[in-house]
Amino acid sequence: KQEVTQIPAALSVPEGENLVLNCSFTDSAIYNLQWFRQDPGKGLTSLLLIQSSQREQTSGRLNASLDKSSGRSTLYIAASQPGDSATYLCAGRRDDKIIFGKGTRLHILP
Amino acid sequence: NAGVMQNPRHLVRRRGQEARLRCSPMKGHSHVYWYRQLPEEGLKFMVYLQKENIIDESGMPKERFSAEFPKEGPSILRIQQVVRGDSAAYFCASSTDYSTYNEQFFGPGTRLTVL
């Protein structure tokens, strides 16, 4: 059974710092790994999707990596801004369903 | 090209009433997925449908919940005799077809509150 774990559950950092969010998954046979952003009371915004054959994806200040052999993914956020404050969800695709972690609540201190 | 649409965005029901949640997939998408996010919990898969067919309902509660995706019109998630534990955000996603490389695109969600 696929499980996705995100540590830490919450994180507060000063504005301008670089930071890394961690995600681990138990089933290495995932098809892809996706990072989402969710603002309070809002829907999901897809940030980056890494196919199983890829190792990383980049978009602006965001970089996501995937290591299937170790069952880990990281989301790197450079030069953090207060607008980055949100919950970040890691999710692995297996068959027809996406398995989500519970998320990391990120608070960027101005 | 509009994204996945869900309505209503907010729904309030009293215990014992029925809740109907609607999802219109992106244009050209024929596959729909429903997920539920309980308070302080991660999103969990409920059901996967194609037009007129339920493909995978392994995440659906055994009672009171049903889903359909008719040939015409939106997909409907129906909850009968709602209880307080059904209060959650329900998200719909759609994709073009079943392929491990096809991304699922998510709607804004319907937030159900059961009084």
Q: For A53, which residue in chain B has the nearest alpha carbon?
A: B101
How far is the C-alpha of B98 from the C-alpha of B86, rounded, in Å?
A: 29
Residue A8: how many other CB atoms lie within 10 Å: 11
Which residues does chain A have within 8 Å of residue B35's beta carbon, measured at their own beta carbons? 98, 100
3-state DSSP helix/strand/coil percent for chain A, to nearest 5? Answer: 5, 60, 35
Q: For A93, which residue in chain B has the nearest alpha carbon?
A: B100
Residues of chain A with pLDDT under 50: none
Question: Residue B99 has what pLDDT?
Answer: 67
Which residues does chain B have within 8 Å of residue A34's beta carbon, measured at their own beta carbons? 103
A98 at interface of B, judged by CB pairs closer than 8 A = yes
How far is the C-alpha of A15 from the C-alpha of A45, rounded, in Å?
A: 22
Question: Residue A41 has what pLDDT?
Answer: 85
Question: Which residue of B4, B30, B45 to mutate against A (max A Cβ within 10 Å)?
Answer: B45
Q: For B91, which residue in chain A has the nearest alpha carbon?
A: A43
Question: Residue A106 has what pLDDT?
Answer: 97
Residues of chain B with pLDDT under 50: none
Question: Residue B43 has what pLDDT?
Answer: 93
B39 at interface of A, judged by CB pairs closer than 8 A = no
Identify the three-state secondary structure at position B113: strand
